[in-house]
Structure 1
Amino acid sequence: MTEPRLELESVRLTTFGEWPLNAPVSAEDLVVNGFFATGNWLEAECNWCHVRIDRWEYGDQVAERHRRCSPICSMVLAPNHCGNVPRGQESDQEGNNVVDSPQCACPDLLLEANRLETFKNWPNPNITPQALAKAGFYYLNRLDHVKCVWCNGVIAKWEKNDNAFDEHRRFFPHCPRVQMGPLIEFATGKNLDELGIQPTSQPQRPKYACIDARLRTFSDWPIANIQPADALAQAGLYYQKIGDQVRCFHCNIGLRSWQKEDEPWHEHAKWSPKCQFVLLAKGPTYVQEVREAAAASARSPEATAPAPLLQAEVLMDEAPAKEALALGIDGGVVRNAIQRKLSSSGCAFATLDELLHAIFDEAGAEAALEVREPPEPSAPFAPDSCQATTSKAASINSDSAPAVPQAPVPVSVQEVTSLAEQMQQTSMAAPNGNLSLEEENRQLKDARLCKVCLDEEVGVVFLPCGHLATCNQCAPSVANCPMCRADIKGFVRTFLS
């Protein structure tokens, strides 16, 4: 059975046989903008970028919603060059089909190696087949005509010193392959989401892109005992000074009626799964898990018993939880770990070690621990007030601890910090003039810090320049690469190991 040729508008129109006549948008508008019906009520899918839209409303402009959901779709960027065939142009005057064979729909040609195979009889020595294949072209076996797999653009008459990517950009500037640049190699499929590439979009409220700016809006937050402001700000939300309503700086969705058991990231992903800030900070896998959990709870509303939540609050007063809090681990992290344990096994953590293993396996040590200053900086330094904060939570053996003077001298936190800085400066350079190990280590750590906030670790690669420059929190608010100032066309999340 042959696949339907969905690049033809007439073929796409046949998929709308059960589309309601009183639907918010007409089948004709959807077809013209590249969509076909999936058969799932009012859901339509683009044949080029495969984005699916189902929540249509009266007054919606199909082209505008398509552009917002998939800004680098070839149908959005270059509708006249993406391979779409209008209903009036599907055959010539003699009745012959004028559409080329659906090479773009062939997944093999999206592989550079398979495109290179089409150049066996390449006649033009002015440019190499390798350069053409990398730029997205395959050979049509006609003179020196080559065609792009993504935008269906055809280029011929190659001259000496021509650059395949430059010529591609000059004639078809909106082609998705050109937008991504020569550093990206597409492995399989036309859906950029499958490759982990996320298109860029500017935040709706850029003045709240910085977490500090969002935190300042919570100065009079009325339900701090129910939802802490810092967790909401971390999830991209700022306070609107109306009840308990907060809003995302990027996707502009508003959330309110917060409960104590609500987790901000979860609620943000649940109600706005397409938000680019959530997708970058938490990843598409997390968003998909949230959507599946929401769908499961919608199918079985009676299964939403809050027993694990209530038990978790009781278990926060038990020994393992109290010992974890004494080590400096955030209370919300401990509570979430207990809730996950109750939901999965129905029993609590028996020991501190079990609780710590669950916390660090889920979130990592850096996400779970926080540095806390002593409540009284000027208090005398005593061995009883010193606690080790380590991932192993190892207890200090009093027999092996260094001796402490009988009359300790009061030492403030500021003095300790100043002394540490002086020691670091004196050990900056080795006697032979080379950088010391400490300085070399410091520079390596600085290289891994976000170049915008200088606080979090880098985690996003900008496309097409390829620089690894910002953390997940800062990336959505950046329009130009901080390293080279190049326009950003897309993001890829990375994980340093």
Structure 2
Amino acid sequence: MQFDGLSIVDKPARAPEPRGERRFHSLKGLMLESVRRQTFVDWPVDFLDRDNLAQAGFFYLRTMDHVQCAFCRGIVGYWDEGDQPETEHKKHFPNCPFVMGAATGNVPAAANPDTDEGRLYKMLNEFYAFKMANTRPSLPSTYHTDSMRVLDGGKVAYPQLNTSVSRLRTFSRWPKETRVDAEKLSDAGFFYTGISDFVQCFHCGGGLFAWRKEDDPFADHARHYPSCNFIRMTHNVPNGVEVSGEVNTLERQSTLSKQEAEMLLHHPLAKRLVALGLSSVSVREALKLSVEASGFLCPTVTEALELVFDYDEKERQKSPKNQCHDGLPVPQSEPQEPNHEATGGTSEASMEVEETKETFFPPTPPPEHSGQSTLSDYSKLLQEVQALRQAVQVEERRLQCRLCGKEQVAVVFQPCSHLHLCADCARPRDSCVTCGSVVRGTLRPIIG
């Protein structure tokens, strides 16, 4: 039946398309165009190309002809012949960061191999495929590799869904067009994620999508995640014996090489972060850790910024005596006193630094006759004061405008709430320099 209720006469049956890799560890994998393309199983609209839909940021919801954007979560359906996915996306969701051309974690399926970005996208697609085939999802405290060979340590990924009844409740909105029984899926250890036909195992955390009517949830679970203890117990497979599964032909290291890490700086996300004034070293290392852990990048610039800030903070904590923030070393010597006569005044942040020195820095060392223990305590105090001074310098730097680098931040963009620019740099802008969203209004925060 068509959507207008008219029957289709003498329509030849289409041969099912190959599904490719069906495994996933996180729904953020939909940022890859290749993953979005694999969702179009049993796509009912002949005149609309699946590749064009995936390229426009859409994945199939397995309900009628409805598709959803992986970046703005906007849904488009009831397609007419002649509709163009990219045009419809812009018309219905003009503020989507993907259609606006903002930096996102999108990874095209095909790109020019002669360009730096093309080689980067090829590497990211291959690394994601390797990650899905050779690792199991990361659990809260551990990360296991070689899921095709290494047994699970017994940790349950989603213990709150350890019963078939609790898992079955998650299938209340399971798309009927999938034609796979929800009870069989829940009995096989799967629960519904609420997106398209993506399901995950409560025990190992492994996910599958792109289901067809003839699929057997138990067999597919065992084939794609043979090391899952739940499916081993269900199939009565003794430990040490592998369930026959798909053979993985991808051979590579589970970490990125130096050359591959350098390639990450060619991604639009990385270029955006470097343009905001962040160190290319910190950006490269933070994105490298993200790709190695999950197989993909961040969906937005904001999340990428948080990754870089977290990376810098961890690096600072690792080496308190030679700290490095945003890839730039912090000087260990005492800062020069500011020339108030030349500047005509002093900033609030500078006053805080001076006040900290006056309050915490001891004016004179202890006398020699006070003993070795006193000298040791004095040395420790000096180190603490040095660390406090450097922490104040870092906070002062975070309060500087990211465009001019001279004035303090003073304007909050609405509705994104980013506080990154001074009044002079923010005044002529109609879009946020961090996330690219349209500025609807501004606020003046009170700092102090």
TM over 0.5: no
So what's the TM-score if we normalise by structure 2? Answer: 0.24
Structure with larger Rg: 1
Q: Which has the higher contact order (CA 8 A, sep 6+)?
A: 2
